[in-house]
Chain A
């Protein structure tokens, strides 16, 4: 403001005639409103900044204190409640003998040479019971994840198929499975499928390689012969060559490594004999010996989880395929590549990078959904906890333990998927 302007307006804004000082104050106030901090003196600026920082720090401290206070109060209330009900809080129950049996599950026990995996029996402790439940949970989780991924990719690709029947079957499958509760599907597979299978006596399929019966599903598995021990050396060498082949850059060396690995395996067979023999399940009236078996509960849980989450995987795959730029399809078509080749060679590899992060979330959800097993009497970790809580009354302690274990499982799955995701992102050099 020019000096003459100042004096012109002084009468207006300065009725008490304090003159230039008030004009400057007015100017400062006006500039301040438009964010022009340079109108203020450096001291004032510093003071304002310090004030803002202190205010922020104070709020930060206040929030932290209130969170801590709330947490402590909450825990205090719980403790008081436990005392009131005469329960208390202790983990001693873990060492007490369980006194109940589980229909399946391996647990860790001290054997002759240290820790081994043994089937659970009622003399073992509650801790070992929970471990057996954990084993069941992990087995179901891993197999269901594999099944859901394979089936889901097939259905997801089928959704984009050129064949109208395939496309609509895939659509119907996804809609049917996604819009209905998982629990009803688990019950369906258990009551309506597994328990309706024939009994052991007349349940043999595929020349005895597969027995699908009411008492469980049994498949032929491999058993190690005495030759296996010596064969292990050959197998180890071949494995080392295969790992080297993955890291070698030139195609010719990679082929050489693969050929050498195959030759070593063949040589090993010639010298040692077959390391594995096929173990066929032999069904007697009430039980099966040999082969690998799944109880009806485990089988139905695995199938239900695999089928249910396949629909989610299929949607992720479909979304990823649709997100790929149309130009990629057009370029592939213009080059003469057929629909299926364009899909598998050009579009799907690009879609994988979009798919993997979402898969991580789905896998964690699969691990958590195994807890529905309690509805069909499968002894997963949560179901075993239920029995333990009933018998010992230590519901809260057991639940906290179980929740911590689920947390660890989820974090592990996420960590593995994230690591794989990082590797995929790096490889594309994008």
Chain B
């Protein structure tokens, strides 16, 4: 055992003089930094700040008496995510780890002062996600209905949360909702743009190319701000379009351009022979595009599209320029309160960790999808 470790060390850490020097310098440094960080996280940090303000961080300025709506929405989203994950993963293998990790996280949170009802709610959402995942594994028709499922589910969640006032949505719930809605809406627009780019009509090609190039050259904050200004001008004054809707419109316009580029590269990746085979079988051009080419193109670029969704999620904070309180802004709002303004590091580390966990999960998901796809192709 020690011999194996020694050989591993010799090969991986001390293979050459330069490598040995790097190892000798960086290993103690890493351990020291790690020790300091662990000591801060476990003992010195005032996590109570986070625990006390959890409602602001998670749902922003949502009215307190209607929190049940937020919880239901959270459960709904958990179910949808669970079903999507169930499409890709089998629960059997990691069931134990997931349950253990969830319980551990909740226990840690409670020990740092999170109120029991929040902990219970979080556990409930995780349980819903888990069951949805298992259900999808068991009954495959759920997986097939996912497309409609997402649209209907998100629509229902929006309808559920709307009566509380769309302007009051905030926090992590808002971040996730904006990501999901913008991703769902930008994909069809992106697909339409990609096909328009390859169409045989020059005017469509020109319009599509112009749109995509324009939107990819302009910052997201510009697009969001632009749609925030333009939309009320276009609609008659009696119709009040909430800020959030205008902001989401800006996101959709922006990310549709990126989705269009990914889908276009996917279309180009579908071998020429596919289209020719479809033609000789008598498919019309439209059928050929949507039944033969599009599914293959999408399969090829799903990892890139998932990366696009992650990018979307990470850029939701841009909504601060039109005055919306997403997860990041909520954290800054907490710090603006003089009572908590000294807890800068705690709040930012918490948000950073939350984003890291979510982002890593999404990246991991994209990698798993990619691995699964390439296995099928071979």
Interface residues of A (CB under 8 A from B): 56, 59-60, 63-64, 67, 74, 77-78, 81-82, 84-85, 162-166, 169, 175-176, 178-184, 187-188, 191-192, 338, 364, 368-372, 374-375, 382, 386, 395-396, 399, 402-403, 406-407, 409-411
Listed stretches B98-106, B350-358, B370-378; interface member: B350-358
Is A188's CB under 8 angstroms from B348's CB?
Answer: yes
Q: Cβ of B7 < 8 Å from any Cβ of A?
A: no
Task: Specify the chain B residue showing the minimal Cβ separation from A77.
Answer: B234
Among A84, A163, A178, A368, the most chain B Cβ lie within 10 Å of the Cβ of: A163
**10 pairs, CB–CB < 8 Å, chain A vs chain B:** A59-B201, A63-B203, A82-B233, A84-B233, A179-B356, A192-B345, A192-B348, A338-B16, A371-B220, A403-B218
Given A81-B234, A163-B22, also A364-B315 (CB < 8 A): no
Residues of A within 8 A of B207 (CB): 67
Say if the beta carbon of B138 comes within 8 Å of chain A.
Answer: no
Q: In the bound complex, do residue A369 and residue B219 qualify as a contact, i.e. CB atoms below 8 Å apart?
A: yes
| A191 CA to B320 CA, complexed, in Å | 18
The answer on a CB contact under 8 Å between A410 and B216 is yes
B221 contacts partner chain A, Cβ-Cβ < 8 Å: yes
Residues in B neighbouring A372, C-beta threshold 8 A: 221, 318
Smallest distance from the beta carbon of B159 to chain A beta carbons, Å? Answer: 28
**Chain A neighbourhood of B12, CB < 8 A:** 162-164
Residues of A within 8 A of B22 (CB): 163, 165-166
Measured between C-beta atoms, what is the minimum distance from A299 to chain B in Å?
19
Could you tell me if A399 and B222 are in contact, using CB atoms closer than 8 angstroms? yes
Q: 5 other contacts beyond A63-B204, A162-B16, A183-B328, with CB at 8 A cut-off?
A: A67-B203, A163-B23, A187-B328, A368-B218, A395-B225
Q: A179, B218: Cβ atoms under 8 Å?
A: no
A396 surroundings in chain B (CB, below 8 A): 229-230, 233
The list of the 3 closest CB pairs from A to B, nearest first, reads: A179-B359, A81-B233, A410-B217
Residues of B within 8 A of A181 (CB): 314-317, 328, 355
Q: Contact between B13 and A81 (Cβ–Cβ < 8 Å)?
A: no
Q: Does B53 contact A (CB under 8 A)?
A: no
Task: Return B51 CB to nearest CB of chain A, in Å.
Answer: 20
Q: How far is the CA of A409 from the CA of B200 in the complex (A)?
A: 31
CA distance A329 to B278 in the complex (A): 42
Contact B221 A402 (CB under 8 A): no
Instruction: Establish whether residues A162 and B201, one from each chain, have CB atoms under 8 Å apart when the complex forms.
Output: no
- Cβ of B344 within 8 Å of any chain A Cβ, yes or no, is yes
User: Which residues of the other chain, B, contact A407 by a CB distance below 8 angstroms?
Assistant: 214, 217-218
Bound CA–CA A177/B225 (angstroms): 26
Would you call B203 and A183 a contact (CB within 8 A)? no
Q: Is the CB of B356 within 8 A of A180?
A: yes
Asked if B19 lies at the interface with its beta carbon under 8 angstroms from chain A, I say yes
Distance of A59 Cα from B345 Cα, bound (Å): 61
Binary per-residue interface labels of chain B (198-228) against chain A in the complex, 1 for a CB within 8 Å, 0 otherwise: 0011111001000000101111111001100
Closest-CB distance, A384 to chain B (whole angstroms): 13
Query: What's the dominant secondary structure at chain B's contact region?
Result: helix
Cα distance, A176 to B37, chains bound together (Å) = 15
The answer to whether the Cβ of B232 comes within 8 Å of any Cβ in the partner chain is yes
Tell whether A371 pairs with B222 under 8 Å between CB atoms, given A64-B203, A67-B203, A180-B359: yes
Interface residues of B toward A: which range?
35 or more
B226 touches A403 (CB 8 A): yes
CB distance from A70 to the nearest CB of B (A): 10
Distance of A193 from chain B, by nearest CB (Å): 12
Among B30, B202, B221, B348, which residue has its beta carbon within 8 angstroms of that of A184?
A: B348
Q: How far is the CA of A145 from the CA of B34 in the complex (A)?
A: 31
Q: B301 to chain A: closest CB distance in Å?
A: 15
Closest beta carbon of chain A to B171's beta carbon, Å = 15
Interface residue from B218, B233, B315, B316 paired with A406 (Cβ < 8 Å): B218
Residues of A within 8 A of B219 (CB): 368-371, 382, 406
Cβ of A368 and Cβ of B220 under 8 Å apart?
yes
Closest Cβ neighbor of A410 among chain B residues: B217
* In the complex, B15 has a CB within 8 A of chain A: yes
Q: Which residues of B contact A402 (CB under 8 A)?
A: 222
Interface flags for B232-253 (1: CB within 8 Å of A; 0: not) read 1111010000000000000000
Inter-chain contacts of B315 with A (CB < 8 A): 181-183
Q: Is the CB of B328 within 8 A of A382?
A: no
Residues of B within 8 A of A191 (CB): 344, 348
Q: Please state if B27 and A165 are interface contacts (CB–CB under 8 Å).
A: yes
A195 to B, closest residue via Cβ: B344
| Residue ID in chain B nearest A67 by CB atoms | B207
Q: Mark B302-333, 1 if CB is under 8 A from A, else 0.
A: 00000000100011111011000000100010
Bound CA span A181–B351, Å: 10
Chain B: which residue is nearest A68 at the CB level? B203
Specify the chain A residue showing the minimal Cβ separation from B26: A165
Is B342 an interface residue when CB atoms closer than 8 A count as contact?
A: no
Q: How far is the CA of A382 from the CA of B221 in the complex (A)?
A: 9
Give the shortest distance, in Å, between A314 (CB) and chain B (any CB). 14
Is B268 an interface position by the 8 A CB rule?
A: no
Chain B residue with the shortest CB-CB distance to A66: B203
* A35, chain B: closest CB distance, angstroms: 9
Write the nearest CB–CB distance from B4 to chain A, whole angstroms. 14
Q: Please tell me if the beta carbons of A179 and B355 are within 8 angstroms of each other in the complex.
A: yes
Residues of A within 8 A of B222 (CB): 371, 382, 399, 402-403, 406
* Cβ–Cβ < 8 Å partners of B16 in chain A: 162, 338
The interface residues of chain B lying within 8 Å CB-to-CB of A162 are 12, 15-16, 19
Distance A338 CA – B314 CA, assembled complex (angstroms): 41
Decide yes or no whether B363 CB sits under 8 A from chain A. yes
Residues of A within 8 Å of B345, CB to CB, are 192
